[in-house]
Amino acid sequence: MQDMSTKELSSRHVKEEESRWLGVVSGWYTTKINGTFVSGPHATHEEALLKIAELRPPPSAKRKS
């Protein structure tokens, strides 16, 4: 499994022209904040957002001292 230590994931649409330059299929991708692709291509923005929700770890509970 990929390291999800980055705090933020986002969705990004790669259009056909850019996809040829990047060497990937056009579509929606889940990316780390530094631009690294995490998953995709997804058919819709909503699918990419669902993947982000699946990959993002839940916030850790803070302990009371």
Residue-wise pLDDT for 8-23, tens only, equals: 899 999 999 999 999 9
Assign 55 a pLDDT band (cuts: 50, 70, 90): confident
Name, in order, each residue with C-beta under 8 angstroms of 15's C-beta and a sequence gap of 6 or more: 26
What is the rounded average pLDDT for all residues in the chain?
A: 85
For the chain, what are the domain ranges?
9-55
